[in-house]
Amino acid sequence: MNDNQAFFDHINKGYITKGDFITMGAAMYKGETIANAHVKIPLKTLNRHGLIAGATGTGKTKTLQIIAENLSEQGIPVLLMDIKGDLSGIAAASPGHPKINERHEKIGIPFEAKGFPVEILSLSDQDGVRLRATVSEFGPVLLSRILDVTTTQAGIISIIFKYCDDNKLPLLDLKDLKKVLQFATREGKEELEKDYGRISTASTGSILRKIVELEQQGADLFFGEKSFEVQDLCRIDENGRGVINIIRLTDIQDKPKLFSTFMLSLLAEIYSTFPEQGDSGRPELVIFLDEAHLIFKEASNALMGQIESIVKLIRSKGVGLYFVTQNPTDIPDGVLSQLGLKVQHALRAFTAKDRKAIKLTAENYPISEYYDTKEILTSLGIGEALISALDEKGRPTPLAATMLRAPMSRMDILSEQELKDHLKKSKLIPKYNEEIDRESAYELLNDKIEKAEAEEAKVAAKKEREKLDRGSSNSSSRNRRTSATEKAVIKVLTSATFIRGALGVLNKLLK
Ligand SMILES: Nc1ncnc2c1ncn2[C@@H]1O[C@H](COP(=O)(O)OP(=O)(O)O)[C@@H](O)[C@H]1O
Ligand SMILES: [Mg+2]
C-alpha cells in the first residue's frame, strides 16, 4: 500500500458518518489534494461550536460562506454577523470560474452555482429588517453587566425595574429608563424610599452617566419597539432551505460596547425562548460571528463570564456558535476550550510574536503522524485550512489539511440595485420597520409629575386668593401676590410638558 492510499484510508475512516453531514472539501497530503478523501462534518455536532481562524485574505469569510450555504441546503437556518459588509452575495448564484472548476475536480465534488434565501437585518437605520429589544426584555441583570456598574448600583437598577413592574410603567427605551432614574431621586423620592429603601443621587448619577455613554455608541437605536422575535431567525423557505439571516454591522465596528450589548441580548433571548433540544441530531440555528475579537475587545470580566456561560448553555438549545477571527488567541480560553470544530487557515510568521502564536496554535491541535502542524500552518494556500472536528460520537477526527470547496453563491457583494430589489421582497421588513413610540414609563411619569405639580399650583393659588379675600390690598403685598401666582404658573410651564417637547426635538436631532 502506498503512502497516499494509507492517508486516504486514515481520512475516510476518521470522517465516517452515518447521519446527515456537510462536506468541507478534500484532505491534502504532501501538498497534493487527495480526491474523494472528503472532510465531513456531521450535522449532529454542529451545536458544539467552532472557530475559523487565519491571517487576512486566507479564506475565513469564504469558509463561513461555504458552511452557511451547505447548512441552508440541509434546511438549517443560519445567522451571520456581517461586520465588513461582504456577505450579501450569498443571495446570488456564483458566476463560476475555471479555477473553481479545477478546485472541485481535485476535491471530487461537482461544482454547482446557486443563490440562497437571504434576509438582511440591521441594528441601526441602515436598510434591512430593524432589530430592536426593549429595556424590560433586556432585564436588570444583563443591563448592569453591560453598563459595568457596581453592586450597589446594580441593586438600584433592580429596584427601578421592580418599581416599574409594580406600577405598570413599561420600560421600552433608554429614555424611559433615564426618566425613572431621575424620578427616583426627585419627585418620586419619598414614594420609592418608603417601599424600596434609600436611593442615593450619587448612584443614580453614575448609572445615568453610563447610560449616556452607551447612547453615544448609538444604543438608543437598538432599544425600543417593535422588539424582534428570535423565532423569526429560524425560517425555512418554500423549497425547504434554511433562511440565511445576515445582520449588517458595518456601522458599528467601532462601537464594541453596542456590539457586545446586542450579541449578549440576542443570545440571552435565544436561550430563554428556544425549547430544550433532545437528541434530534440537527442544529436549530447556527450563528457565525465574523471579526469575533470585537465582542471580547472591551468586555469587562463580568461580561466575559456571562458570555462564557451562555456559550456553554446555548448548546442544549441546538444552537451552534462559530467565531471567525484572525488569531485563536483573540478568543478567551474559557470559550476556546468549548469549541468542537476548528478550521485554521494560514498564519503568517513575520515577527517573533507571530512565531510564538503559531507555536501556541499548533500545540492546540491533535498530533498527526502525517503532518508537521507548525510547518503546515504557514504553508497553507488561500482557500485551504487545517481542520479538526468531532465525529458523531463526539471524538476528535483526524487532523486534515483541507482543500476547501468553493462557495456556490457569489463571492462578491450585491450591487446597490440588487440589494434594493432584494429588500423589496422581504416579509419581515413590513413587520418590524414601523416606528412605534407607545405610552411608556417616560410619558406616564411625566403625566404623574405634571398632575402633582398642577395640584400644588392649585393649592398655592387658592392660598393666595384666600389672602386676597382677607382684604389686604396694599401695593407691596399685591406685588408679592403676583409673584407667587406667577411662580406657580412658571412652575407648571417649565415642568413635564415643556421638557417633553424639548427632548422630543433633541431626539430628532440626534437621529
Ligand atoms: N474556498 C474558496 N474557494 C475559492 N476561492 C477562495 C476560497 N477561499 C478564499 N478564496 C479566495 O480568497 C479571497 C479571500 O478570501 P476571504 O474569505 O475574503 O479571506 P479572509 O476572510 O480570511 O480575509 C476570496 O476573495 C477568494 O478569491
Ligand atoms: Mg474576512
Atom of ligand 1 nearest to the CA of 66: 1
Task: Tell me which residues of the chain have a pLDDT lower than 50.
Answer: 475-511
Q: Which residues surround ligand 2, an ion (CB under 5 A)?
A: 60-61
Of 412, 424, 425, 422, the C-alpha closest to 87 is: 412
Rounded to two decimals, what is the model's pTM? 0.83
Atom of ligand 1 nearest to the CA of 55: 22
Ligand having the closest approach to the CA of 411 = 1
How distant, in Å, are the alpha carbons of 53, 333, 406 from that of 289? 12, 17, 20
SS (H, E, C) 455-483: HHHHHHHHHHHHHHHCCCCCHHHHHHHHH
Q: What is the DSSP letter of 292?
A: T
Atom of ligand 1 nearest to the CA of 54: 22
- What does the pLDDT look like over 16-32, one tens digit per residue? 989 999 999 999 999 99
- Give the model's pLDDT for residue 376: 94
- Residue of 64, 382, 403 to mutate, ligand 1, most atoms within 8 A of C-beta: 382
CA of 194 to the centre of ligand 2 (A): 56
Atom of ligand 1 nearest to the CA of 62: 17
- Give the model's pLDDT for residue 249: 86
What are the sequence ranges of the domains in the chain?
3-132+225-432, 135-222+439-445
Atom 4 in ligand 1: which residue has the minimum CA distance?
406
Residue burial 493-510, b: 16+ Cβ < 10 Å; e: rest:
eebbeeeeeeeeeeeeee
How would you classify the pairing of strands 32-42 and 21-29?
antiparallel
Class of domain 3-132+225-432: alpha beta
Cell numbers for 65: 460562506
Atom of ligand 1 nearest to the CA of 412: 25
Cα separation, 495 vs 419, in Å, equals: 47
Helix, strand and coil in the chain, % to nearest 5: 50, 15, 35
State the residue for C-alpha cell 463561513.
64
Cα separation, 308 vs 314, in Å, equals: 10
CA of 63 to the centre of ligand 2 (A): 9
- Give the model's pLDDT for residue 93: 98
CA of 61 to the centre of ligand 2 (A): 4
Which runs of E-coded beta strand occur in 277-330? 285-289, 319-325
Atom 6 in ligand 1: which residue has the minimum CA distance?
383
Ligand 1 neighbours (beta carbon < 6 A): 54, 56-62, 382-383, 404, 406, 411
- Give the model's pLDDT for residue 472: 54
CA of 344 to the centre of ligand 2 (A): 13
CA of 222 to the centre of ligand 2 (A): 25
Cα separation, 198 vs 267, in Å, equals: 34
